[in-house]
Amino acid sequence: MARGLAKAAQLAGDRDWWRGAVIYQIYPRSFQDTNGDGIGDLKGITQRLDHVAGLGADAVWISPFFTSPMKDYGYDVADYRDVDPMFGTLADFDALVVRAHDLGLRVMIDLVLSHSSDQHPWFIESRADRGNPRADWYVWADPKPDGTPPNNWLSIFGGSAWTWDARRMQYYLHNFLASQPDLDFHCPAVQAELLDTARFWLDRGVDGFRLDTINFYFADKLLRDNPPLPAERRNDSIAPAVNPYNWQEHIHSKNQPENIDFLRKLRAVMEPYGAAAVGEVGDAQRGLEIMGQYTSGGDLMQMCYAFEFLSKDRLTAARVAETFARLNAAAPEGWPCWAFSNHDVMRHASRWGLSGAEIRAYATLLMCLRGSVCLYQGEELGLTEADLAFEDLQDPYGIEFWPEFKGRDGCRTPMVWSRDNRNGGFSEGKPWLPVPAEHLEKAVSAVGADPDGLIAHYRRVIALRHAHPALSKGAQEDMVAEGGVIRLVRRHEGEAIFVAVNLAGTPAKIAGPGAGWLDIGAALGGAGQSGDGVVALAPWQSCLLRRTT
């Protein structure tokens, strides 16, 4: 415990470090392999942290590396307090944390608290009979009189959310795979154990957590049926359109009010360490509202993200303005964390069909919005979604719904470090997923030193965000969509920054903020303000102006 608290004391001067932070997501299986087995590992992450620090990121979020049978590639945890041997050892993790801190990077790890693996010792004991000490650690229920599941809840991965267990002659709940049984948060012992798990990693020096499916922790204690969702309210931001999960309004299987009290307990555990958390809110209808609930006030989570900017629909100026209007109405004091890509969705370069200039425009916008930011590995290279053959798929989600939904493997292919190696410098062995040939020309060795390249743009716009507290921590005002242009003003302690980004393929002219503003966006290829107060924007061009008061 002394180590974790010592680190907290060292960082105590900036307990607000998370507010406006740029967090770089690392998917361990696909970042860097050091032992030739084709799977990335913790030593590989440590080896490549200089790249992340060189971008200017404030923290890394490392997806699960815990002991796991890997049915859902680490999101099915069999031991919350150890490293799966394919990724290394606890000593390797400790070395990673030390190196990250030496580089000025904080470390956030992915805690999967809503469910475990069915191979976790807790579940093995729980399913043995109805009278063991952990009998109530998971959500168990008797069948209906006709033997069918206790209610109509559906799994995100397809089919019923209930699986029959012959040992207990009961059903158990799983919102995801049948091999991912849901823990019962109504059980005080479960809460206590999970809070102690958080302490374990904080004591090892981690700086915070990404909380997987944060709104799934509690299920309705009465196990009431979910009502149907009208067709006009359905969307596929959480589950693919071919999944009937979208046909229910999930008011009982998740989003329960008891969650607030548990989040307060978790925040109390984190506070002495100066740690922060970002929660993943998985809800297609109420994501922004729940984000606000979970981040409002100083005793809940610091940040949450919903799926508005991870959807398949192109992010237009109008949709940006509409999203913030809804967020401000639902949670004016809440703190969002925005991302365009992650390990669960098609890469946004492909999802939105972006050119290099368009990727730059969206990167600039992302760094200027109120909230914190997550970047997904390879985003800074402009990596596109890999088109994999069915026989190369690993993701059970894609295998289940192929070919209408191809799963998540296309965004999880290995990071490309070198174009002189058919595996992109990722591994000396056969990678667990193939490296697309078209990714090699985007490798770090190929584009990293280009002063006009995409990596350079990310470095500049991140540096600009750090140089101006108004962009990272400030209030956001006057957001308006004018045709294809989104414009806004950020303010903080006497500094104001005017931002306009043209998210359209046609030129645009808008009224600028007036006299007394200095151009700070020239290094990004941005437009200035003319003498008559007009800002003329080329397609995908931005304008950033600064004034002090």
Q: 487 and 375, same structural domain? A: no
* Selected catalytic residue, list 58, 110, 184, 212: 212
Q: How confident is the model at residue 9 (pLDDT cuts 50, 70, 90)?
A: very low
As a whole-number percent, the residues of the chain with pLDDT over 90 amount to 92
In single-letter form, the type of residue at position 356 comes to G
Beta strands in 235-299 (DSSP E): 276-280
Helix H, strand E, coil C: the string for 300-333 is CCCEEECCHHHCCCCCCHHHHHHHHHHHHHHCCC
3-state secondary structure of 47: helix
CB of 55 closer than 8 Å to CB of 458: yes
Taking residues 231-244, report their average pLDDT.
88
Q: How far, in Å, are 178, 214, 389 from residue 73 at the CA level? A: 14, 19, 19
Q: Does a structural domain hold residue 151?
A: no
Q: 319 and 200, same structural domain? A: yes
Mean pLDDT, rounded, of the chain: 95
Residue 323: φ, ψ to 5°: -65, -45
pLDDT tens digit sequence for 481-499: 999 999 999 999 999 999 9
Residues 6+ positions from 328 with CB-CB distance below 8 Å: none
Q: Does a structural domain hold residue 172?
A: no
Say how many residues make up the chain: 549
Q: 336 and 212, same structural domain? A: yes
Q: How confident is the model at residue 237 (pLDDT cuts 50, 70, 90)?
A: confident
Query: Tokens 């190929």 label which residue?
Result: 446
Q: Does a structural domain hold residue 329?
A: yes
pLDDT at 241: 87
In single-letter form, the type of residue at position 121 comes to P
Residues 6+ positions from 49 with CB-CB distance below 8 Å: 60, 96, 99, 100, 103, 105
Q: How confident is the model at residue 468 (pLDDT cuts 50, 70, 90)?
A: very high
Q: 381 and 482, same structural domain? A: no
Q: How far, in Å, are 10, 41, 297, 384, 443 from residue 348 at the CA level? A: 37, 26, 32, 8, 18
pLDDT at 3: 47
Buried/exposed code over 58-67 (b: 16+ C-beta within 10 A; e: otherwise): bbbbbbbbbb
Distance CA 36, CA 427 (A): 6
pLDDT at 333: 87
Return the closest-CA partner of residue 415 out of 386, 443, 375, 449: 443
pLDDT at 323: 95
pLDDT at 331: 85
Cis status, amide bond into 403, omega within 30 of 0? yes
DSSP bridge partners of 228: 248
* Selected catalytic residue, list 72, 110, 207, 280: 280
Distance CA 408, CA 112 (A): 18
Query: Is there a catalytic annotation at residue 212?
Result: yes
Q: Any idea what the CATH number is for the domain that residue 498 is in?
A: 2.60.40.1180
CB of 393 closer than 8 Å to CB of 358: no
Q: 56 and 203, same structural domain? A: yes
Q: How confident is the model at residue 1 (pLDDT cuts 50, 70, 90)?
A: very low
Q: 375 and 510, same structural domain? A: no
Query: Is there a catalytic annotation at residue 428?
Result: no
Q: 490 and 368, same structural domain? A: no
Distance CA 13, CA 492 (A): 19
Look at 21-35, 84-98, 384-398 and tell me which has the smallest mean pLDDT: 384-398
3-state secondary structure of 141: strand
DSSP bridge partners of 375: 24
Distance CA 391, CA 399 (A): 9
The helix (H) or strand (E) run that includes residue 437 is: none
pLDDT at 14: 81
CB of 394 closer than 8 Å to CB of 29: no
pLDDT at 94: 98
Residue 472: φ, ψ to 5°: -95, -40
Pairing of the two strands 140-141 and 170-173: antiparallel
As a whole-number percent, the residues of the chain with pLDDT over 70 amount to 98
Q: Does a structural domain hold residue 469?
A: no
Buried/exposed code over 436-457 (b: 16+ C-beta within 10 A; e: otherwise): beebbebbbebbbeeeebbbbb
Q: 490 and 365, same structural domain? A: no
Residues 6+ positions from 486 with CB-CB distance below 8 Å: 317, 320, 321, 365, 479, 480, 500, 501, 503
Q: Does a structural domain hold residue 54?
A: yes
Q: How far, in Å, are 293, 305, 327 from residue 214 at the CA level? A: 12, 10, 18
Report whether pLDDT(359) > 50: yes
Distance CA 515, CA 413 (A): 49
pLDDT tens digit sequence for 243-255: 999 999 999 999 9
Q: How confident is the model at residue 13 (pLDDT cuts 50, 70, 90)?
A: low
For residue 70, how many other CB atoms are within 10 A of its CB?
Answer: 18
Residue finishing a domain among 332, 364, 385: 385
Q: Does a structural domain hold residue 164?
A: no
Q: 502 and 359, same structural domain? A: no
Distance CA 489, CA 495 (A): 10
Query: Tokens 């900017």 label which residue?
Result: 309
Distance CA 497, CA 547 (A): 6
How many separate domains does the chain show? Answer: 2
pLDDT tens digit sequence for 63-121: 999 999 999 999 999 999 999 999 999 999 999 999 999 999 999 999 999 999 999 99
* DSSP 8-state symbol, 224: P
pLDDT tens digit sequence for 504-526: 999 999 999 999 999 999 999 99
pLDDT tens digit sequence for 298-349: 999 999 998 999 999 999 999 999 999 999 998 888 999 999 999 999 999 9
Query: Tokens 């993200």 label which residue?
Result: 305
Q: How far, in Å, are 213, 278, 355 from residue 111 at the CA level? A: 10, 10, 35
Residue finishing a domain among 385, 418, 437: 385
Residues 6+ positions from 170 with CB-CB distance below 8 Å: 130, 140, 141, 142, 143, 164
Pairing of the two strands 170-173 and 208-211: unpaired
3-state secondary structure of 370: coil
Q: 377 and 278, same structural domain? A: yes
Domain residues for the domain of 361 are: 2-116+188-220+249-385
Q: 215 and 320, same structural domain? A: yes
Residue finishing a domain among 334, 350, 385: 385
Distance CA 119, CA 8 (A): 34
Q: Does a structural domain hold residue 141?
A: no
Q: 343 and 203, same structural domain? A: yes
Report whether pLDDT(289) > 70: yes
Q: Does a structural domain hold residue 239?
A: no
